[in-house]
Amino acid sequence: MAIQKPRGTQDFLPAVIGNWRYIEAAIRKLCAAYGFEEIRTPIFEDTGLFLRGIGETTDVVQKEMYSFPTGDKKEQTYTLRPENTASAVRAYLENKVYGQESLTKWFYMGPMFRHDKPQAGRYRQFHQFGVEVLGTQAPSADADVILMALQLFSDLGLKDLSVQVNSVGCPNCRPAYRDKLIAFFEPKKDELCEDCQSRLYKNPMRILDCKEESCKALSVGAPEIHENLCEECATHFEQVKTLLTAADVNYTVNPRLVRGLDYYTKTAFEVQYAPLGSQSAIAGGGRYDGLVEELDGPHTPAVGFAMGIERVLLALEKQGLLPEPEVEPSVFVVALGEAAQLEGFKIVHALRHDYIKASMVGENKSMKSQLKHANKTHAKYVIILGDDELARGEAILRYMETSEQETVPLAEVKARITSLVKG
Ligand code: AMP
């Protein structure tokens, strides 16, 4: 059997690239308005970065990483990035950006890799757009990134999205809450799924967002984080909510939305589009005030989010919002005879030189066959060169939309087309 693409990956052929460019253009416009600058980091990193930057107890690290030998040192491995926040923080530290500016606002776009079970909306190579704000505790930064994600969706015309927010506390208030959760789940330990049994002592908050029905049922009545936040976290959360309300965001508070790692702090949020079913999360993020320190940097509060571009495309498709393909006004030269071929070749290249889209068959085919190509390329203007026209120093200019034709002196063809295309 012929070689096929790896499972969980996709080919994006020219017919759909316009959709990607449409989203990317909207993202760049948004980031410019919000003052975010683009970064590009390597697609693979030292595996240790993700162990520490995402956390050894997460599914991503335990089950989903593509790791391979570096080929330099025995036992040292690299990993295809499963997300971009850890790499952004590594770049922030390695380039000592914290010493150059007090507030850093970055965005990125690119492929990420997770060895997960592929299904609609879940791929092994997928693309994320994400932002990171480094250097501020301000609740307004949390609100800003949430608003930014929502503005992108509303610019794209997406409807029926839901926004969920939560606070996951901080190293001051979380240990006591953790203990309460462990005490709550310990008597039910044997009934939890295998994953949750191993999460119980390492990362009990993750039990709250387990997708297994049995775990969901077992967690009914579990202690809620909101009753266990310290004053600082509670105040921060109130301020974020006040800002979101002031900006007319229709959000719900979901106490089960967790980012259960020690360096994730305070705000967590997710944007969902329910018709995507089990892969309904189209963007998610939150605060990670402890991550820069975890990676041996100075204390640097930070907040960000990541959005799955394939899922946004799926949502756009479901709502009939994909853009119409753009057709550039183009020119096609139909040349009949050897001399006409040479003249046509010169005209096509003169036009391309001025960045006007121009083409020809390049072989002496029949008029009918050349016009067929002109139609295929959606040419707006066709220049017809035959021996008779050439002998008179003329060409025929045909307007494809109306089928009208006129005669133009050869020497004026380029200027005439240029004025038609560029106005
Ligand atoms: P996360 O980094 O897990 O918080 O994911 C952020 C966003 O990336 C999610 O809301 C999804 O839209 C998208 N995403 C995560 N994993 C995948 C995947 N395997 N395939 C497609 N999109 C994904």
Give a yes or no: residue 246 inside a domain.
yes
Structural domain span for residue 275: 14-173+229-318
Quick check: 262 pLDDT over 80? Answer: no
In a domain, 154, yes or no: yes
My answer on whether 236 and 364 are in the same domain is no
Residue 71: other Cβ atoms inside 10 A: 8
Residue where a domain terminates, one of 318, 349, 370: 318
Q: Which of 58, 279, 280, 305 to mutate to test the pocket of ligand 1 (most atoms within 8 A of CB)?
A: 279
Same domain, 241 and 131: yes
Give the ligand 1 atom nearest the CA of 128. Answer: 8
* Residues 310 and 407 both lie in one domain: no
Residue 106 shares a structural domain with residue 144: yes
Q: Is the pLDDT of residue 207 over 80?
A: yes
- How confident is the prediction for the chain on average, in pLDDT? 95
Give every CB contact of residue 279 below 8 A, 6+ residues apart in sequence: 119, 120, 121, 122, 311
Q: Is the pLDDT of residue 217 over 70?
A: yes
Same domain for 143 and 31: yes
pLDDT greater than 80 at residue 160: yes
Q: Are residues 309 and 341 in the same domain?
A: no
Mutate to test the pocket of ligand 1, among 112, 152, 278 (most ligand atoms within 8 A of CB): 112
Task: Report the separation in Å between the CA atom of 21 and the middle of ligand 1, taken as the mean of its atom positions.
Answer: 20
> How much of the chain exceeds pLDDT 90, in percent?
91
| 286 and 345 together in one domain | no
Residues 28-84 have pLDDT tens digits of: 999 999 999 999 999 999 999 999 999 888 889 989 999 999 999 989 999 999 999
pLDDT (mean) for 150-154 = 97
Do 255 and 162 fall within a single domain?
Answer: yes
Residues with C-beta less than 6 Å from any ligand 1 atom: 83, 114, 116, 121-123, 126, 128, 281-284, 306-308, 310-311
Mean pLDDT, range 9-25, rounded to an integer: 97
Full-model pTM: 0.93
User: With pLDDT > 70 as the criterion, what percentage of the chain qualifies?
Assistant: 100
CATH number, residue 89:
3.30.930.10
| Burial track 11-41 (b if 16+ CB lie within 10 A, e otherwise) | eeeeeeeebeebbeebbeebbeebebeebeb
Locate 129 and state its tokens. Answer: 């757009």
- 96 & 140 share domain: yes
**Tokens linked to 283:** 């963007």
> Is 212 contained in some domain?
no
**Does some domain include residue 55?**
yes
Residue 323 inside a domain? The answer is no
- For 105, how many CA atoms within 13 A lie in the half-sphere containing its CB? 14
| CATH number of the domain to which 367 belongs | 3.40.50.800
Residue-wise pLDDT for 224-242, tens only, equals 999 999 999 999 999 999 9
Task: Please determine, for residue 254, whether its predicted confidence score (pLDDT) is greater than 70.
Answer: yes
Which of 271, 297, 318 is the last residue before a domain boundary?
318
Q: How far apart are CA 203 and CA 189, in angstroms?
A: 14
Task: Looking at the structure, tell me whether residues 165 and 284 fall in a common domain.
Answer: yes
Query: What pLDDT score does 50 carry?
Result: 96
Q: Is the pLDDT of residue 209 over 90?
A: no
Q: What is the pLDDT of residues 345-388, one digit of tens each?
A: 999 999 999 999 999 998 999 999 999 999 998 999 999 999 89
Number of structural domains (the chain) is 2
For the cut 90, the answer to whether the pLDDT of residue 327 exceeds it is: no
HSE of 173, CA atoms in CB hemisphere, 13 A: 18
> Picking from 166-170, 198-202, 272-276, which range would have the lowest pLDDT averaged per residue?
198-202
